Structure 1
Amino acid sequence: MTGDAFRVMLRMQINPGAEGDFERVWLEIGDSVTSHPANLGQWLSRSEDEGVYYIVSDWVSEALFREFETSDRHLEHRRKLHPFRSGGSMTTMRVVAYLPGTASTESHHDWERAR
């Protein structure tokens, strides 16, 4: 990943008891984001704080992310996740450097098996 990448971080507060359904739906519809030609990948992380999730999504440029953000594809994605949310926020940033760790050569599938 180069220093030109644009990163979006969403903090989502999920309604109590809806966490499992939220994770399932997020995985089911994730390709609506990751199949966009400008998307570099996205991650879903569950916080230690109850009901709090972080979604990190990397894009080749801010302009292409903003184009996606106003697309029908994104609006449909948000509509499907909205019932699970009780709040949230978005932060954007530019990736200025990336130092891969030794374990980064493993594929995501290998990482999943190791968990």
Structure 2
Amino acid sequence: MAFRVLLRMELVPGREAEFERAWLAGADVITGQPANLGQWLSRSEDEQGVYYIVSDWTDEARFREYELSDQHLEHRKKLHPYRVAGSMTTMTVLHSLAGAAR
């Protein structure tokens, strides 16, 4: 199964649209990684200025390899001006079930 990374980002008020454009402009840095299975950007409906980024990886070791790379540091620098606070949670996907609408 996949290794999943969940980022929670609190943004500088009023910079949400800029952040979304910057995220989209740099998204291929992540999705272009050989071990990346995909990523998603979501905006909280409950908390103003809070976004979640989910990315799935083939395994933890390959994610950690990317996390320590110069590419990752450069990518983070581009998003950092929009961020006030954030956190990262990692997990292993145990089961994946497709819904009826799929």
* TM-score, length basis structure 2: 0.97
User: How many aligned positions are there?
Assistant: 101
Structure 1 residue 44 corresponds to structure 2 residue 41: yes
What's the CA shift for 1:75?
0.5
Residue segments in structure 1 that go unaligned for 5+ positions in a row = 105-115
Tell me the residue number matched to 1:26: 23
- State the AA in 2 paired with 1:88: G
Larger radius of gyration: 1
Q: Secondary structure at the match of 1:103?
A: coil
- State the AA in 2 paired with 1:56: V
What's the CA shift for 1:101?
1.3
Percent identity between the two aligned chains: 65
Q: Secondary structure at the match of 2:4?
A: strand
Q: CA RMSD in A?
A: 0.6
Q: Secondary structure at the match of 1:55?
A: strand
Tell me the residue number matched to 1:98: 96
Tell me the residue number matched to 1:60: 58
Q: Which has the higher helix share?
A: 1
What's the CA shift for 1:31?
0.1
What's the CA shift for 1:84?
0.2
Tell me the residue number matched to 2:75: 77
Runs of 4+ in 1 over 2 A off after TM superposition: none
What's the CA shift for 1:74?
0.6
- Quote the Cα distance in structure 2 between the aligned partners of 1:102 and 1:80: 38
* TM-score, length basis structure 1: 0.86
